[in-house]
Structures are given as structure tokens and as C-alpha cells.
Structure 1
């Protein structure tokens, strides 16, 4: 009944309503393990416990005196963002991090400066003048970027204010090169008089009285003037000689590589105090005092088990790692860290943001020369990962290097060469201390420390394991399962708890599972989870799991009920809110049956994603698991998406999207609940959102009969 796939375009919808203050951390303790990504490049993960939840960080440390180099990572053009893994990366890339904030919902261009291989791509925008820069010697630092330029015109020179920027100042000028891409330059031009000079081989080829669009030809640049500058450029005839010169300096030098950011988090080894009063996924970069070590840090957030980190917590984590100066990169859904494992080529995502990977304009790539192709070592680790994949509804698992006595842990092993890249294997042999191992499956012996070793030829590697006493009890996540009917499936995982409270994952192979066959079927999955698929349209029962001499029962409920959340008789108590919309108003109106709530909105102010909200006087609680929502909408044909803002059981906020209101008159709109939501939830806002920057309109819709479809009570 309800769709599960969110529209890709919505990955860029900013949600200011998500911003909430976070309490100060208390009782912080850090733990983590290190992955040798390449010589001089190491990845570590850590967990920091506080009064208001757990912060989870991943950090890449790069020795800039070693073989690793750092380069700019970008799309086909500045206005062609893409997921980090699809940006243009140099050969030998072993890790990458997202970079700058960007013109979201419009051009997609980065807001700060950008330099690739010594070539200046973009000037900084006001408010985004700091950069993470690599100098010609390979040393890194956080600096304030300074851009200057001149257009040598007939009669008198004109200052160049911007390069490839989405915003040219009033009465100022901006240069656009082929690196800008094909996005219309009208957003940069704003309102008022505009003149463009198309310049090739230092000669004016054409003069235009409006901002152009489409790709700029190779060898050609466009000089755009606004207001007074437009009048000056209009005096320049076709065929006139025009020379353009501009440069960017940061820290007294011209960077070889530079990516912009926002807040400076550390300066001279001290936390600056920059903060935005919120917990979010984070991304940041830092450098040591000498600039010879780089730190790339991401914090998980908006995902089960973690709400995110504050900027001050991010800064403090970098300071403790050894950073002397640090800069905030774009966080939220943009925060992405990629790093490979030893013995592999492709970097993989190392953080969670509660949603799919977002398209970003740029980043930094860490790359190393190719290795010798000979096995120099073996990387051994548990097959089961502690961090679920991005977008998963599951929380992070306990450390899989812990295992209960008598139970098993499946391991994986890969040979790696001198650069930690793939190497040929001449058959793996296994050995174990503190237990037995067969084809990579370790069976734990008596409690204590254990070690599992893998060899291929003369190369070897090992993983340390901690064997716990048998579990005192078993726990599952989630602790109950609900389905709307005989379709779909949900995963759950089983963890054991030792007598002293230490936790460890239970392998599906060690679990005996039973369930009424006329209710559901259970399948063991290779990712360490169990998949439950209902076989009946309705009913109740349990899924029973036994392992290590203990058992746990998971309640199972199939079927749904319709629950009215709002009839809008209290429409006068709702309030209007906006995000980038020119205005929004709410008022009582004639509904589908009785009174409804009218939302008047104006989406003509900006050419970016915009939203108009109707906020409930109090959260609308949904008991149990919510499978989806519906609301009657008297449409205006404008085409905005109808959506709900909900808060889940962990205090995380989510946007639930329905369909575009492309109809007129009354119709029922269905709205999905995204994966990763912790139930029960509460609805806080009903709203419209327009994600298409070219659409400019205003209108009115009326809402009535907001309902949730949830698991039956009891």
C-alpha cells in the first residue's frame, strides 16, 4: 500500500526543522580499532558515550610525509554534483571525504574556494572564505582565502569580484569558465541590468544584455557585470581586446589543492567555540602543527543508535587526535567518508547519516602509488561488521571481536601488497589459539583472549578475539516485529549479554529459530541478521531464538488499523512556518467533511528548495509501529510534494514524503514512512515542499482527515 523508496531528488531537501539543541556530553569514553588503509594512512573508529546518547566517529589519519598524496575531488563541472564515490578521482585513490557546503537546490556549486592541481576553479563566497589547503610542498593547513582579479578593458580596468560563483555582487563582476558547467547564470546575475562579454583569445566575441546558460566553450570565458558594472561592460564593442587576470592566495601561497568549509573549529590547538546548537552528522578536516599530518573526521547521526555530534564535540575529537587547526566541512546528509580495507581496491562508505548517499560538489581524495603486487600481509577481521549499512533501520552492533564460549564467529581474510592493495593468494591456511577454526569460522574455547591467524605463502595476519563466558541472556533488535500484511520483510539481530553486562553479537548460524509457519518465514542472512517475511494477512505470534543455552521470544504482529490523528477542527491553533518560501499562512477552511486547514504558500522568493509548514499545536502521537499515513488534500495543481515531519522514539526527526499535488479538488494522498525510523512516532508538521528550482508559483491547499496506518494495539 505504501511505497518504501524515497525520491532521489529529496536527498537535497534541507530540513531546518531538524535543528535541535543537544545536551552537554558527560562521562565520555572512547574506544576504537585501527584499519591500515595504505602506508601512512590509517582509519579508526570510536564511540563516545554521553548523557544524551552515543556519538560515533570515524577518523582517517594521513601522513603527508609518506607516499600518500591529497588531491581535489570534483564532478564533471562545478555545477554537476554527484555522490562522493562517483566524483572524478585520481588513480590509486584509497580514501575520500566530502568537502564544501553548496548552493543546495539550485546550481549545486560549492560556496567556498576550489583549487585543483594548482588551477583555480572558484573564488570564495562571502561567509565561506576559509579553506583546507595543500601547499606546493604537500603541507596542509587551514587558511583564509583571498581572491583578487582584474579585467583589462578599453579605457579603464574593472575589478573581478567572483570566479564561477552562484552569486555576483550588485554593481560587481564575475568570470565564468568552462569549469562552471551548463547551469544558467541568471541566479548569479540576480535582478537589474546585466551585461555579458563572451571572451575568447583575449578578444570580445559577443556582447549580451542578459545572463546566458549552457556549457561555455573550451578556451572561452564569460565576464558578467551587474548594475553599474553592466553599464561599463555594455560600452565594450565586439572585437575589443580584453585581458582577464585573477588569483587566489591562502596562507601566503597559491594552493596546489583547496576546498572550502564553514566554521574554523580549531585554531592554534584551541577549540574556537564555534557551534550551531545542534546534533547532526558531521564532517571536518584538521592538520597537525607542522601541517605534515592530516585528519579527516566524520560523525554518524540521524541514524538508529546515534543522533549526531555537536561542532564542539567534533572539534574536541580532532584536538585529542593531534590536530592543531581544523575546519568544518558540509555535514548532515552530505557527510561521507570512504576508505578501503587492506587487500581491496574500492573505498567503501564508513559512516551513517540516516539516508542514502547525497550528491556533493567536491571533496578530497587520498591516493597512493601502486604496490608491488606481492603478498606482504593478510588482513583478518570478523565478517560481521559493527556498523550497519547506510540507511539501515538497525543500530550498531557490539564489537564482533567478542564471542561467547562455545559459539562461533565467521572471519574473512585478504592478502595485501606493499601498498596494502590486492595481492594474489596461494590458498589460505588458518590456525587458532583459544579455540578452533575451520575454513575461517572460529569456535571459541574457554573465556579469555584468543587469536586467529591466516597465512598465504610467506604472508600472514591475525585477529585478536575476546572470549566471553556463556550469555546470561539474549536480546534482539528490534524487540518486536510488526507488518501491515503478507508482504515485505524486516530484519532483526540477536546479541548476547554476558554475566558482567558485556555484549557480543550472535551469529545466525548459532541461532535455532522457530516461528509458526502459517504466520511467517525466517531466513538467515550473511550480514548477521535474520529476515522475517510474513505469510499471513493478519495474526499474532512469536519468533523464538535459542543460542548458547538461552532463548528470547520476539512478539510478531501482522495487520494494520487506521487511526485518525487530526480532523483539523482545531485549525485555528495550528501555526505557519516557512523555509525559503516567501510566505505561508494557515487558517480554518471548509474541509472534505466538516472543518479543514488551509495552507496558503508563496514559492516565488528563491530558485531553490522551499517549504511551507502547518505546525500542530502539540505532537500527534501514533501508538505502535506506523506503516504509513494518509491525508485528504484539496489540491491546487501546483505540483508541490505533500509531506509530514515526524519525531521517532529516539528523538530523531524525519521527513516522510508523499506525492506531488498535481491535481485540483479533493484526493487522498498517501505518505511513506522511511526506513530507519524508531517506533512509535509523533507527527509535528504537515507541509508542502518544492524541490525543483525552476518552478516559481504560489497557491493554496486544504488538508483534512490525517490518518496513520499502524499495528493493532495490544
Structure 2
């Protein structure tokens, strides 16, 4: 532990205890319906905000605490209905009837290195909604966002299982394509970047955005040129109906799978002919849990078993969004750093881990930050959520997904 981290932890513990009683100095929460640990948004859902004195100065944070032991409170994925699309968190929350939420995974935000290629807006990591696998993870080298801490990958997820417990895990794609000539592995599912020499599947969950980005870059270099050896096959009702030398665009019908291949994967697809039978199988496989996931989304872990991951950045302060898991997965903490100019000093990733540990988390997970950081919550009795933090860009940034907090009351 560095002296700076030790000092921060000492100050944080004192401030966290003080702020539970005193509230915050910036846009303080209304005392109406306030309880000892914050403002009650819904049964099992509390909100509070407070100041922290961090390495680069005072910063302001917003915190949602969700008691997953309360059968009236639940967690789910916020997303626009397809993978490759973006909406502000407030709009995503209201569309799903969520009482609160935060932004989620890092995403394909720009394509300046590939002229003529459209940024898809699709997230980096795996995503599961209501038990349904929406997408798998892009290769590590194709990730958008800050460098991953040692030992973490784009497959890392925060999820809630069918047992109602939150946990950190890793989700890998297990898939195959069965053709008259045999079987070969599936390398991707609704992802903006495919591994080299692979075949990826795009379903109705992808949306209508062009699939051209999927064959750009390499497994280690996001900015590498797009592949010149590509092929696309459309399978409808289990049979090949069309093919193309380049990836296309437009919505994919519910009974259709579009297979996109690059290099060796393209060569495999060229062997298929119109009318041939093709079966595509895919699922996401958890590395650590035998419990099926109802919800999962990507990011990267920063705290595990009460200990910060080694190698966390303790110098770069920024506006952050993160989640903490406490009480053996029965309590979820959703934290957003305020982006107002007066508080833009932010937190380092090491401080994020220490903050969530001081608030009782055993595990913690970093989500997209900066201009994406958004925390929304309903006022008690309101029909729509309001943005509780000040987004650093001055307004909400559209994002591909988020963590929604739902109430069954």
C-alpha cells in the first residue's frame, strides 16, 4: 500500500461516516423521505451523495445501494433494444420502468483510424438480458477505454444470477457452425470486432448498423487496417439464402443469422452454397459460477475478496462509474463521481477500489466513465427519473447499456 493510498483510506472512512449523517454540499438530497443511510427511492433502494478528499482534491460522489435480499428490488440490463445503438441513461431507465440506474460498459465510440467505417456504438464486453445472451466480448486488443489492469480481460462481467446474488465472473463464447462439410468454431456473437481468421454471427439482437467494423483491426491492434479477405453469408430458416464479399448492413430478421468471416473464416464461408443447410449454435459460458445469469454486462474488476487488484492506476484521476458487491452478493452499490467543474478532480482507479471497500464492498467493478458517467433516480412518487450527477460533458452522453434498478412494489 502506498502512503497516498493509506492517507486516502483514512480520510475516506471518516468522510463516509460523516456524510451518512450530514449529507452533501452540492445539490443535496431532499430531506423528504430521508432515512439514516440515505434517501429511500423504493423498497430496498437507497440514494445518497457526499464529498471525498482524494489525491487530486475534493470530489463529489453519488451512491445507490440496492438490497437484493428485498424481493421488491431487482437489477436488470438497460439497453435500447439492440446491441449496436445508444441512448441516454435517463431515457433507457424510463423506457424500462427502472427507478434508478447508472451507465454501463465501455463501447465503440469512434472510428477515426478507419475512414469510411461507421462507429457501431456497441459495447466491449458480454451482455445478458433476462437470461438471454445478447453478445460476446471483443478481443482484448480491440477494446475502447483505458488500459486493462493486469490479469483482467474483455470477458470480465458483473452479473446477477438466478439465485438473486451479484457476483464478478468471466463469460466466454462457446459456439459452432455446422455445415454439410463439417463443423467449425464460432468466433463472435454480435460484436463490433471479430478475432482474426474467425467467423462471427449477427442476429436480430445486433440492430441495423453496418457490420463492416467487425473485420477491422487485429487481435492486438484496434487501429490496424480492415481485412481485405472477407465474406458474408445469410442463413434464413437454417439454409443459406445469399452471400456477399463484404459485410453488409440493415436489420437482421428474427429467423435469420448473418455469418461474417475474415481471413481463414472467410475461406470457410466461401465453401457454402445457396440452399445448403447450416446450423449455428452459441452460448456464453461462465468461468466461475454454476448459477445461470439473468443479467450481466462488461467492464473490469478492481477489487476481489476485499483486496484491490495488483497494478491499479493510482495516478490518473477522472470521473468514474463503478459497482461494488457486498454481503456475499446480497447488496449492490452503484457509484458515480460527479462531473461538475468544482469537483472534476475525480478519483483514480485505485481510489475507486478503496472507496467501495470502505463502503463495505468485497468485490468491485469499474464501468465506463468520463462523459459517460451518469446516475439517475426517481424522486419518491415521481413517474420519471432525474439525473443526479452533473455529467462532465454538460449533458448526458448516449450509451449502449447500463445497470437498471427495478422495484416490484
TM-score band w.r.t. shorter chain: 0.7 to 0.9
Structure with higher Rg: it is 1
Matched, 1:96 2:132: no
Cα 1:131–1:353 shift into 2, 3 Å:
same
Matched pairs, number = 347
The structure whose residues are more often helix, as a share, is 2
Matches within 5 A, 1:167-566: 167-190=193-216, 191-250=227-286, 251-252=288-289, 253-262=291-300, 264-273=301-310, 274-275=312-313, 277-301=315-339, 303-354=341-392, 355-370=394-409
Could you say which residue in structure 2 is the equivalent of 1:18? none
Distance in 1 of aligned mates of 2:67 and 2:95: 18
Cα 1:88–1:236 shift into 2, 3 Å:
farther
Cα 1:50–1:307 shift into 2, 3 Å:
closer
Could you say which residue in structure 2 is the equivalent of 1:55? 59
Distance in 2 of aligned mates of 1:203 and 1:194: 20
> Which residue of the other structure, out of 124, 127, 131, is the alignment partner of 1:111?
124
Distance in 1 of aligned mates of 2:205 and 2:74: 23
- TM-score using structure 2 length: 0.81
Could you say which residue in structure 1 is the equivalent of 2:138? 125
Distance in 1 of aligned mates of 2:80 and 2:93: 6
Give the Å deviation of 1:232: 1.2
Cα 1:120–1:68 shift into 2, 3 Å:
same
CA contact under 8 A between 1:302 and 1:308: conserved in structure 2?
no
Cα 1:305–1:91 shift into 2, 3 Å:
closer
- What SS does structure 2 have at the residue aligned with 1:178? coil
CA contact under 8 A between 1:164 and 1:180: conserved in structure 2?
yes
Could you say which residue in structure 1 is the equivalent of 2:46? 42
Give the Å deviation of 1:40: 0.9
Cα 1:157–1:192 shift into 2, 3 Å:
same
Cα 1:51–1:152 shift into 2, 3 Å:
closer
Distance in 1 of aligned mates of 2:93 and 2:261: 32
Distance in 1 of aligned mates of 2:243 and 2:292: 32
CA contact under 8 A between 1:119 and 1:256: conserved in structure 2?
yes
- What SS does structure 2 have at the residue aligned with 1:85? helix
CA contact under 8 A between 1:203 and 1:240: conserved in structure 2?
yes
- What SS does structure 1 have at the residue aligned with 2:293? coil
Cα 1:50–1:322 shift into 2, 3 Å:
closer
Give the Å deviation of 1:194: 1.2
Give the Å deviation of 1:89: 5.2
Give the Å deviation of 1:283: 0.3
The structure whose residues are more often strand, as a share, is 1
Cα 1:318–1:51 shift into 2, 3 Å:
closer
- Superposed CA RMSD: 1.8
Structure with the larger RCO, 1 or 2 (CA within 8 Å, 6+ apart): 2
Matched, 1:86 2:91: yes
Q: Which runs of 5+ in 2 are unaligned?
A: 24-37, 111-118, 141-153, 217-226
Q: Which runs of 5+ in 1 are unaligned?
A: 1-22, 371-714
Give the Å deviation of 1:222: 0.4
- What SS does structure 1 have at the residue aligned with 2:328? coil
